């Protein structure tokens, strides 16, 4: 096939005879003719009014490699291209090397229609894949449309990872529309996709009708205030979601109020992740009030925000409630200080539900040691405490370890010693 292109016209033919005429090439200036070895081109002969011309259309998304170039005459060049495509046997080999027992990884792959065609054929019969990872896959709109359509035919895939793809609103809309009534998918990861307000509107609409999703990740996306409002208000109509990841999305006071309304109404959510959102005491107070009315939340992660000791009493309120459901609490990298730590630890002398507590880098010193020791002595549910990157000296660490020996449930205590090189130590109860 031979192609010639100008700003206002282009043509691809089976032969070069017509293209070399003055009507196409002219006779002056720099001119370039392309010779193309193709597989996916489509003949338009049956649709052409001129049956003598054999024009070829190239499929969108087709990729080519330069294999040769020639100088035919002065200012007249020809470049030889060859279509790049993944043959079935090559993709089969890729699948064989990049799949585990129940997962397949398509990481950093340019997934065009040609590639997706094989994957979709596989989906119609594959009964062992449960999760597909498409991280950094550079989907085209046609490719994602074909994949989502074929996904409906597979009742085994329950998890999709679309991280680091930088979706545009059209691709987000295709995925969202497909999942509005999808009956199999349970886990969806959309982290790090540069999702905006328009994307949030599409996925928010999906969440109002989808009845199978249990986990969704929106972390590390610039959704904006309006985008988060779309999602939070949509969630109020969803009663199947169990895990919600909203890390590093720049939450505002306005959204905090919206998410609190959702928390008060939700009867399904068990895991909430709000790390790295610059939340202050006012925001946390609103969230804690909602959590006091929610008896389903088991995992609450609020690491790397701006929570101070002023807000510690809100967590005390939750932890001391007889109906508290929290089994894991992460307050790491918040400036709680000793005052905040002491209040929280004291509440755990009565709490018999919490099992995992993360208090890394919270400006804690040995001043909180007595309260921590007392809690370890009497608490009968705690399994793990993490105290990394706090100012606890070596003598205090030994005191904690001695108390740990007397505790029948505490299995892991994580901390950093005072050596120049930070070292993590794990102590397992024998």
Domain spans in the chain, listed from the N-terminal domain onward: 2-84, 88-414
- CA dihedral sign, ordered 226, 227, 230, 235: negative
Higher pLDDT, 67 or 181: 181
| Cβ neighbour number for residue 59 with a 10 Å cutoff | 15
Residue, of 215 and 1, whose pLDDT is higher? 215
Judging by beta carbons within 10 Å of its beta carbon (0-12, 13-18, 19+), is residue 34 exposed, middle or buried? Answer: buried
pTM of the model: 0.76
Higher pLDDT, 3 or 358: 358
- Token pair, residue 399, equals 């005191």
Which segment, 285-289, 292-296, 391-395, is predicted with the most confidence on average?
285-289
pLDDT digits (tens, 9 = 90+) for 220-270: 999 877 888 899 899 989 999 999 999 998 777 778 888 899 999 899 999
What does the pLDDT read at residue 248?
92
Q: Which segment, 107-116, 137-146, 172-181, is predicted with the most confidence on average? A: 172-181
The order of strands in the sheet holding 2-6 is 9-13, 2-6, 31-37, 76-84, 63-73
- The domain defined by 88-414 folds into 3.80.10
Distance of CA 137 to the CA centre of its chain: 13
Question: How many whole angstroms separate alpha carbon 150 and alpha carbon 127?
Answer: 14
- Residue 397: its pLDDT value, please? 81
Closest alpha carbon to 188 in 220, 167, 213, 222: 213
């Amino acid at each position: 096939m031979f192609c010639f292109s100008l700003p206002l016209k282009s043509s691809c033919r089976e032969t070069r005879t017509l293209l070399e005429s003055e009507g196409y090439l002219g006779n002056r200036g720099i001119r370039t003719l392309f010779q193309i070895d193709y597989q996916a081109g489509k003949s338009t002969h049956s649709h052409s009014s001129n049956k003598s011309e054999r024009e070829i259309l190239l499929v969108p998304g087709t990729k080519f490699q330069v294999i040769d170039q020639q100088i035919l005459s002065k200012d007249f060049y020809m470049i030889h291209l060859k279509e790049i495509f993944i043959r079935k046997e090559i993709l089969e080999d890729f699948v064989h090397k990049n799949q585990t027992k129940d997962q397949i990884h398509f990481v950093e792959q340019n997934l065009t229609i040609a590639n997706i065609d094989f994957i979709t054929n596989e989906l119609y019969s594959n009964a062992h894949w449960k999760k597909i990872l498409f991280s950094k896959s550079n989907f085209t709109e046609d490719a994602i449309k074909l994949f989502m359509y074929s996904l409906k035919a597979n009742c085994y895939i329950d998890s999709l990872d679309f991280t680091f793809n930088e979706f545009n609103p059209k691709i987000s809309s295709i995925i969202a529309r497909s999942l509005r009534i999808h009956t199999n998918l349970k886990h969806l990861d959309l982290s790090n996709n540069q999702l905006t307000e328009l994307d949030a509107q599409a996925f928010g609409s999906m969440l109002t009708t989808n009845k199978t999703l249990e986990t969704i990740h929106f972390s590390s996306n610039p959704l904006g205030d309006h985008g988060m409002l779309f999602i939070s208000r949509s969630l109020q109509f969803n009663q199947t979601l169990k895990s919600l990841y909203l890390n590093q999305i720049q939450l505002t006071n306005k959204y905090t109020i919206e998410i609190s309304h959702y928390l008060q109404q939700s009867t399904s959510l068990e895991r909430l992740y709000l790390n790295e959102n610059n939340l202050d005491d006012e925001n946390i107070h609103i969230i804690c009030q909602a959590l006091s009315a929610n008896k389903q939340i088991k995992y609450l992660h609020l690491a790397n925000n701006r929570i101070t000791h002023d807000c510690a009493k809100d967590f005390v309120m939750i932890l001391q409630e007889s109906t508290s459901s929290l089994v894991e609490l992460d307050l790491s990298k918040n400036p709680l200080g000793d005052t905040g730590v002491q209040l929280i630890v004291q509440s755990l002398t009565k709490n018999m539900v919490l099992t995992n507590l993360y208090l890394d880098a919270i400006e804690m010193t040995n001043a909180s040691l007595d309260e921590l020791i007392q809690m370890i002595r009497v608490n009968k549910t705690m399994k793990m405490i993490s105290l990394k990157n706090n100012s606890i000296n070596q003598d205090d660490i030994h005191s904690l370890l001695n108390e740990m020996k007397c505790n029948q449930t505490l299995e892991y205590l994580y901390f950093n010693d005072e050596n120049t090189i930070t070292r993590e130590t794990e102590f397992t109860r024998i």
